[in-house]
Amino acid sequence: MSIRPEILEAIKNTQLPEDRTFGKALLPVICAATFDGVSWSDLEVKLDTEHPVSGGSIAVQYGQSIFEGMKAYRVTAEVPQVFRPYDHAKRFNRSADRMCMPPVPEGLFVEAVKLISSLYRDLIPQEHNSSLYVRPALFGDDYSLVIMPSEHYSFTVHVAPTLPFAPGMKSVLIERQDTRAAIGGTGGVKAAGNYAASFKSIMRARKLGCATSLWLDPIENRTIEELSLMNFFAVINGKLHTPELKDSFLPGLTRRSVMVLAAHHGIETVEVPIDVNVLLKQIEAGDCTEAFSTGTAAVVSPVRSFKEADGTEIVISDEVGPVATKLREHLVGIQEGTHEDMFGWMQPVATE
Ligand code: PMP
């Protein structure tokens, strides 16, 4: 692929941003392809500011927009390694299908992710617990108010280097007022609007000193679904419990990976409905000894306590539990190259 000299120059001149608060340090060059109603263009490497999207686009007006979140690592390997890119591509296309958008060929998706990670490889932090966050997105860019699927689409990949991230213990607000997604809705995919719909709850949670909110099922407001950006696990009577998958919340790739690692360590995982009120009683009785959440950004993140909207707090533990510690160490080790990649999850990017 030929990349314009001024783009290569822009990459070379990019300094690692000082403020690397998660998601704020977007780098200026992106990978992009466009769909003209029939087929996909070749990938192009360009400045983000060269990619036009209007407020009059279908994506902005009607929310026809999806994304993925994934990471490239360079902690021990010189060549950046991407975590499960084809699985992210598959989930991306399930999201595209749900939102009535054309699938992005898996090869194009993975090529774009690897290309931008390779171009920015010198800016991928090498400290333990840091990485390059990679954000593929697909959106309808027809300039139109017709309430129909867009004919034209953009596929873009932005990247942001992340700070070393060592998750502390967090409190979580049990969200008993709003629900995030409906049965048969879009909760099971990464549709942009799901995230906007969760902001109000997250702000309520922050006011109460919580990191985020815990979403319950949309019918009875009783069984646990997920956190706003992560899946949920609890250790109850020595077994790992996680909500069984439903179409109202996201099947996380970290969730899936953690379950594989748990089995490898001889820890049984049960996928069952978890009634939040029963769980609170199990915490009080000492049967639930740890809880944690899983997701690309924080990998495995321990939950210290649950809070109710009235401020009542139910503490699980002040210490990170042994199961969360073991699974986090193993998964981060695979991602950073200090543990053997026994399941073939890491993919090197090509370097010329
Ligand atoms: N739930 C939601 C709503 C999410 O946005 C994410 C992050 N993609 C997750 C769960 C965790 O998914 P993953 O492990 O694939 O990052």
Question: Residue 302 half-sphere exposure, CB side, CA atoms within 13 Å?
Answer: 23
Take atom 6 of ligand 1 and give the residue whose Cα is closest: 229
**pLDDT, tens only, 65-89:** 999 999 999 999 989 999 999 999 9
**pLDDT, tens only, 123-143:** 999 999 999 999 999 999 999
Summarize the confidence of residues 281-296 as an average pLDDT: 98
Residue 166 has pLDDT above 90, yes or no: no
Summarize the confidence of residues 193-210 as an average pLDDT: 97
pLDDT confidence of residue 339:
98
Ligand 1 geometric centre to CA of 162 (Å)? 17
Of all residues in the chain, what percent carry a pLDDT higher than 70? Answer: 100
- This prediction has a pTM of 0.96
pLDDT confidence of residue 30:
97
Residue 94 has pLDDT above 70, yes or no: yes
β-strands 132-140, 44-47 pairing: unpaired
pLDDT confidence of residue 118:
97
Is 26 in contact with 158 (CB distance < 8 Å)? yes
What residues does ligand 1 touch, defined as CB less than 6 Å away?
Answer: 69, 226, 229-231, 250, 252-255, 294-296
Among 22, 131, 231, say which to mutate for ligand 1: greatest number of ligand atoms within 8 Å of CB.
231
Going by pLDDT thresholds of 50, 70 and 90, the confidence category of residue 351 is: confident
Ligand 1 geometric centre to CA of 145 (Å)? 31
Residue 352 has pLDDT above 70, yes or no: no
Take atom 4 of ligand 1 and give the residue whose Cα is closest: 229
Summarize the confidence of residues 301-309 as an average pLDDT: 98
For the chain, the average pLDDT equals 96
pLDDT confidence of residue 73:
97
Summarize the confidence of residues 49-74 as an average pLDDT: 96
Summarize the confidence of residues 100-110 as an average pLDDT: 98
pLDDT confidence of residue 27:
95
**pLDDT, tens only, 321-348:** 999 999 999 999 999 999 999 999 999 9
Rounded CA gap, 294 and 297, in Å? Answer: 9
pLDDT confidence of residue 237:
97
Residue 183 has pLDDT above 80, yes or no: yes
Is 214 in contact with 204 (CB distance < 8 Å)? no
Summarize the confidence of residues 87-113 as an average pLDDT: 98
**pLDDT, tens only, 154-165:** 999 999 999 877
Ligand 1, atom nearest to 253 Cα: 15
pLDDT confidence of residue 19:
81
pLDDT confidence of residue 163:
82
Residue 13 has pLDDT above 80, yes or no: yes
Summarize the confidence of residues 7-23 as an average pLDDT: 88
Q: Burial code of 277-300, b = ≥16 C-beta within 10 A, e = fewer?
A: eebbebbeeeebbbbbbbbbbbbb
Closest CA to 313 of 321, 302, 305: 305
Rounded CA gap, 49 and 30, in Å? Answer: 9
